Chains A and B, each alone.
Chain A
Amino acid sequence: MKTLEIEIPDQLGRQIEELVRRGWFTDQNDLARRALGDFLRHHRLELQEQHQLDDIEWARRLKEQAG
Chain B
Amino acid sequence: MKLIVCDTGPLVHLFEANLLNLLEAAGKVLMPPSVAEELEGVAPPELKLGDLPWLVTRPLRQPHDAEARDWHRAGLLHLGEAEALALARQERADWFLTDDSAARVVAERMAVEVHGSLGVLLWGAATGLVDFPEAEAALDRLRESSLWVSPRVLSEARDALLDLFT
Contacts and interface: CB of A to CB of B under 8 A. Distances in A.
A56 B120 CA distance: 10
Contacts of B145: 9
Contacts of A12: 146
B116 A52 contact: yes
Contacts of A47: 101, 104-105
Contacts of B119: 52, 55, 58-59
Interface string B123-159: 1011100000000000000001110111011001100
B115 A55 contact: yes
Contacts of A63: 126, 163-164
* Interface footprint category on B: 20 to 34
Q: Is the interface of B mostly helix, strand, loop or mixed?
A: helix
Contacts of B59: none
B59 to A, nearest CB: 28
A48 to B, nearest CB: 5
Interface residues of A, number: 23
A51 B116 contact: yes
Contacts, number: 72
Contact of A59 (B45, B123, B148, B149): B123
Contacts of A43: 148
Contact of B118 (A9, A11, A45, A52): A52
A66 interface: yes
B49 interface: no
A52 B115 CA distance: 8
Contacts of B118: 52, 55-56
B66 interface: no
29 contacts: A9-B144, A11-B44, A12-B146, A15-B42, A15-B44, A43-B148, A44-B102, A45-B148, A47-B104, A48-B99, A48-B101, A52-B116, A52-B119, A53-B153, A53-B156, A55-B115, A55-B119, A56-B156, A56-B160, A58-B119, A58-B122, A58-B123, A59-B122, A59-B125, A60-B163, A62-B123, A62-B127, A63-B126, A63-B163
Interface of B: 16, 42, 44-45, 99, 101-102, 104-105, 115-116, 118-119, 122-123, 125-127, 144-146, 148-150, 152-153, 156-157, 160, 163-164
